[in-house]
Chain A
Amino acid sequence: MLRWKYSRPLLGVVMALLALAPILGDNPLSRPGLQQTMAVAFIWGGLALTYDLLFGFTGLLSFGHALYFATGVYVTCILINHEVVSWWLASLIAIAVSALLALLVGAASLRTTGITFAMVTLAFGEAGHVILERNFFNLTGGENGIALNANLIPQFWISVVNTKYIYWTALAAMALTYAVIWWVTESSAGRVFAALRDNELRVQVLGLNTQRFKLLAFVISAALAALLGDVMLLAAGSAAPRFADAGVTISLLLMVVLGGAVTRWGAVIGGIIYSVATTRMQDLTQQEFFKTIPKLIGGPIAEPAFVLGLLFIFVVMFAPGGLSGAYYKLRLRAITKKSQ
């Protein structure tokens, strides 16, 4: 990986600016509307990074990642609404439950590899989605989901004036996810993850238990996804089956591929841009001038999936590495030119 000596200070400055923006006088980020949009975008950015740990760093193409995110949302919401424990403890329990679930599902599905693994994780993920929709024991609220009882969480997260606290919580959750994944991928276990992606047989020959390392990556990313789920519960105010939909995992895949895998910041930027873009595109297509475009073209364009899907196909076919990959390619070219 190309290193740039200003990248860490720059990261610090950007984070500080994002953190201080809501209280730095009048700017777009001091308004609750954009704060809410950005809070959700940060959650998606973090979630894309947890997916990057699986897909990019370890080479595990999972289609069931949404399950662990939704576990975070639902377990927290159920524990709070039934007044079992406070928000803090509920979040921790949700993370533990999600990690345990990932341990069980991972142990079964990691018996397969590659494309079969993708299918199997998809099946488990969809099973979770269906179970949430069924409303067993009246816990999950079926297709409508459950609204979070606002009286039972700390009051500074309630009401529109306090949106900035949700914004900060989401930013902190994203930063924490980034820090953990940075630490994991730079650790010796992270080296093994990368080796598993590049050549699993060689790792086996070295005498390492490949299953155990894959399971470790699977569980870490699930636990972090649950953490982001906890925050999503605050931002969305309810737990709904759409968080467990296979479409969520597919969006994560899109974010990581568009932003660029294995660079960490690529996935985060991909997630943030994707989230903001889909929200803004819906606003755009509501406008008057848009209705003058004939339906033959305008109909598909109004669906965010159309543009994103085409972009996705283009990136996979012609620009693998996505946004961050393109950036590094340009830097590499600049460096080699200078040294000549």
Chain B
Amino acid sequence: METFILIGITGIGLGALYFLVASGLSLIYGLMGVLNFAHGSFLTVGAFVGFWVASKMGFETTIPEFLLAMIIGGLAAGLFALLIEQLLITRLYERHIDQALVTVGVSLVVGAVLGGWFGNDLRMFPTPMWFLTAIDIGGAQIPADRVIYISTAILLLIGNWALLKFTRIGLIIRAGVENRHMVDALGINVRKAFSTVFFLGGFAAGVGGVLVSVYSNGVSPLIAGSYLIYGFIVVVIGGMGSVPGSFLAAMLIGIIKQFANYYATGLGDFVVVILLAVVLLIRPQGLLGKVRA
């Protein structure tokens, strides 16, 4: 039973990381139709800025210091995302393939710049000592850092939901995901919604970047790789443009991956891809996705 709980909660922790990457991807795709390959570089930028802030505070950080570094990392990634959107994406309005290609270019350049400056070796992220302790849940010893991943993901989900539900810009975003041209035709500035979504997506990815670098024991320009791909899988399984769908799919994938890795040694990735194929065959629009007209 303890192993069961341990694997389950570890899976949820991993799912939380996937969700942080996927939420932005899903909204950006749902609203603008942009397949954002640069999302991985938002994650890396957030991780490096967070690392820089945290290492200013010494080899070890307290929990508030760590949270501060995480938020600053997220903000930096959000601003970077905004910059990319304004500089490149908006100029390729409605050219979806070209937009995807440009983001591939961005991810290459950012990877090369960070690799050139810092090298590709892992650098230890200064984390609070508390992360290394374990919490007893139903007899299982859960690493404490998982709590941070899960609560951050839940906070982001709630924040996202509140923003989409109760604010004017959220209303525009929701309407835009549904039918962007109609919103345009009603004389509402959708561009502002685009920028908001890019900033928020970048913020979530940046926060995710800091947490990923805690999870993988350090920062390097290469940490984003597999998370971006899992982010894509989560978005496809959850349904394009649906943040709750992404949350559901991320948790599902995190848990299934951990259990498969434990009971069928190392088959986790494989099982996830099988799941993807099954979802595509049965429900091509994803779990909570709507059929696009």
A109 interface residue per 8 A CB criterion: yes
CB of B53 closer than 8 Å to a CB of A: no
Residues of A within 8 A of B236 (CB): 112, 116, 119-120, 123
Q: What per-residue 1/0 map shows which CB atoms of A105-128 lie under 8 Å from chain B?
A: 000110110111011101110110
Partner-contacting stretch, out of A170-178, A182-190, A292-300: A292-300
Within 8 A of B (CB), among A227-262: 246, 250, 253-254, 257
> Which of A120, A250, A295, A309 is the one whose CB lies under 8 Å from B112?
A309
Which residues of B have CB within 8 Å of A334?
none
CB distance from B223 to the nearest CB of A (A): 15
**A139 contacts partner chain B, Cβ-Cβ < 8 Å:** no
Q: Contact at A111–B88, with CB atoms within 8 Å? A: no
Interface residue ranges of B235-270 to A (CB < 8 Å) = 235-236, 240, 266, 269-270
Query: In the complex, how many angstroms separate the beta carbon of A127 from the nearest chain B beta carbon?
Result: 4
Interface locus among B44-52, B102-110, B150-158, B201-209: B102-110
Report the Cα distance A120→B278, complex, angstroms.
Answer: 12
Residue A320, interface by CB 8 Å: yes
- Does B233 sit within 8 A of A, measured CB to CB? yes
Q: Is the CB of B148 closer than 8 A to any CB of chain A?
A: no
**Which bracket fits the contact residues of A?**
35 or more
Closest Cβ of chain B: how far from A271's Cβ, in Å? 17
Q: Quick check: is B116 within 8 A (CB to CB) of the other chain?
A: yes
The answer for the CA separation of A109 and B108 in the assembled complex, in Å, is 26
- Cβ of B100 and Cβ of A131 under 8 Å apart? no
* A317 contacts the other chain (CB 8 A): yes
Q: Which residue of A lies closest to B118 (CB)?
A: A299
B29 CB within 8 Å of chain A:
yes
Complex contacts, B29 vs chain A, CB 8 Å: 115
Contacts A123-B276, A299-B117 given: A130-B270 contact, CB under 8 Å? yes
Q: Which of B4-12, B91-99, B181-189, B190-198 contacts A (4 or more CB under 8 A)?
A: B91-99
| Distance A313 CA – B270 CA, assembled complex (angstroms) | 34
Would B229 and A123 count as touching, CB distance under 8 A? Answer: yes
> Which of chain A's residues have a CB closer than 8 A to the CB of B102?
313, 316-317
Select which of A111, A123, A257 is within 8 A of B232 by beta carbon: A123
Does B33 lie at the interface of the complex (its beta carbon under 8 Å from any beta carbon of A)?
A: yes
Chain B: interface residue total (CB-CB under 8 A)? 42
Complex Cα–Cα for A299 and B269 (A): 34
- Least CB distance from B81 to A in Å reads 16
A310 at the interface (CB under 8 A from B): yes
Q: How far is the CA of A222 from the CA of B79 in the complex (A)?
A: 40
Complex-state Cα separation, A130 to B284, whole angstroms: 24
Q: Say yes or no: B232 contacts A122, CB within 8 Å.
A: yes
CA distance A114 to B235 in the complex (A): 15
Q: Give CA–CA (A253, B104) in the complex, Å.
A: 9
A134 contacts across to B, CB distance below 8 A: 266
Q: Are A317 and B97 in contact (CB under 8 A)?
A: no
Kindly provide the distance from the CB of A192 to the nearest chain B CB, expressed in whole angstroms. Answer: 20
Knowing A123-B229, A309-B105, A313-B109, say if A295 contacts B116 (CB, 8 Å): yes
- B115 CB-CB contact with A under 8 Å: yes
User: Does chain A have a CB within 8 A of B137?
Assistant: no
Closest to A302 in B: B116
Closest residue of chain B to A125 (Cβ to Cβ) is B229
A306 near B104 with CB under 8 A, answer no
Digit string of A299-340 for contact with B (CB within 8 Å is 1, else 0)? 111111110111011001100100000000000000000000
Give chain B nearest CB distance to A280 CB in angstroms.
17
Residues of B within 8 A of A115 (CB): 29, 33-35, 96-97, 100
Interface pair A253/B116, CB less than 8 Å apart: no
A residues less than 8 Å from B33 (CB atoms)? 115
Chain B: CB-nearest residue to A304: B112
The answer to whether A301 and B116 touch (CB under 8 A), given A111-B281, A119-B235, A312-B101, is: yes
What sequence of 0s and 1s flags, for each residue 250-289 of chain A, a beta carbon within 8 Å of any chain B beta carbon?
A: 1001100100000000000000000000000000000000
Q: Apart from A123-B236, A299-B115, A312-B105, list 13 A-B contacts with CB within 8 A.
A: A116-B236, A123-B229, A124-B276, A250-B108, A253-B101, A300-B115, A300-B117, A301-B116, A306-B108, A306-B112, A313-B102, A313-B109, A316-B101
Which residues of A are interface residues toward B (Cβ below 8 A)? 61, 108-109, 111-112, 114-116, 118-120, 122-124, 126-127, 130-131, 134, 246, 250, 253-254, 257, 295-296, 298-306, 308-310, 312-313, 316-317, 320
Sample 16 A-B pairs with CB under 8 A, ordered by A number.
A112-B236, A115-B29, A116-B240, A120-B236, A124-B277, A127-B273, A131-B270, A257-B101, A299-B117, A300-B113, A302-B116, A305-B112, A312-B104, A313-B105, A316-B92, A316-B101
Query: What 4 A-B pairs are tightest by C-beta distance, nearest first?
Result: A299-B116, A309-B108, A306-B112, A303-B112
